[in-house]
Structure formats: structure tokens, C-alpha cells
Amino acid sequence: GATRLKTVQGAVTKVCRDHGLIDDLIYFDSDAVDGNVFLKVGHKVTATVEEDKTYGLKAIKVIPFCDSCHGNGVSDSYARVTFACINPEVEGAYYIDHTTYFLLDVVCKGFEPYQGDRVEVELCTQSDTLGRRAVSVKPLRHKHVHEVYITSLHGRKGVIDDSIFFTLESLKLPDGYIPQIYDIVNAVVVESIQSCYMWRAISMTLVKRW
């Protein structure tokens, strides 16, 4: 099929001699930077991004923001943005970074955000304020796993298949089902940074109990 491209806004988080990272997630080569500008860590950019088998996400064009450019157009602009993780701050609202927040009513159906989740965000940048507001939030990556064991339980948190974290506070379960160690389950999981785990279960159903 055709290559899927998307436009993101973010900040440079790593710079090497011939490549770098945006938001610790998007790889770019130095020759992809518009105007051959030498980027520094913290530099805000707009990038055209494609999925890449080697790097996951790769920017094929990177345009640095021009702080001295001020237009006379609309006060808000929209861009699709990929951020590394979610940080809960106050009840009812979550922060992706210190200037970007969202309310739960913009989250895609079936997904309850949790600290550490990697998400893709539709962002509203308000030119008359320092804040940025997310208008749509969904998991960056998700997958289905089938017939895997619950390998550990500690209070209201546990692990599936020694590799997938879950917490009962944000896990959808069938009515009456209480997870137990060694249960064989099916689950939907999202990419999330949880200590030594890279995936988090958001829903789980029992297949067989020993």
C-alpha cells in the first residue's frame, strides 16, 4: 500500500553528528533538516514522519520553528503530534508535557490513559498563550495477545507473560472476573513505559483457569 505520512510538531531531544531524535521517538538524518540548519537539543520543529522498519518512526523532512516569524492569520493552529508519555497532574486532566494538557473527553473510545503511556495527539496550539491543548488522544501503538499467562500479581498490579504490565485501576474486565495468577487470558495492550515493561494491558478476558 501507499506510504502513510503524518505531520508532527515536537522538540529535538538528541543530536549526534549525522542524526538525531525528536521527542525521544522520531529518528531523523541531518540531511532531512530543511535549510541545512544545525539543530540543538530543545529546538522546536515540524516534521513529516513515516513508519520505518528500522527506526519505527522516521522524519523525512524536518523544519525548524522560526521564533521571529509572526503571521496575521488565525490564533490557533492544528498539527498531529507524537509524544513520549503521559503524566497525570490533576484530577480530570492529564499533561503530556509542562505546556500540553488534555481532558478525558478527547480520548478515543476504549482507552483510559495511564502514566507512561505513549500516545498520538491532535494538538491545538494557541498563539496568544503559552499553553497547548490536545483535542484528540489515542495510543501510539496497540496489539492483541492471545492465550497468555498471568505470571505475577502484587496487590492491584500484575504482569502477563512476564512482559506486559497491568493495574486493576485502568483494566477493563468482564463482570465478575477477578484476575488470578496462572490464568490464561486474551488481552488488548498498548505501548507504555512501565519500569522494565514496554506494554500495558487495557482489557483482559479469561480463556482458562487452572
pLDDT digits (tens, 9 = 90+) for 142-192: 999 999 999 999 999 999 999 999 999 989 999 999 999 999 999 999 999
Which grid coordinates are listed for 61? Answer: 523532512
Contact assessment for residue 161 and residue 128, using Cβ atoms and an 8 Å cutoff:
no
For residue 121, the cross-strand partners are 81, 137
Sign of CA dihedral 81, 104, 98, 76: positive
The pLDDT of residue 85: 65
15-18, Cβ contacts within 8 angstroms, sequence gap of 24 or more: 15/39, 15/40, 15/41
pLDDT digits (tens, 9 = 90+) for 51-89: 888 888 899 999 987 544 434 333 344 455 555 467 765
Q: Which domains does the chain have, with CATH numbers?
A: 6-64 (2.40.50.140), 142-209 (2.40.50.140)
Nearest to 162 by CA among 171, 153, 177, 150: 150
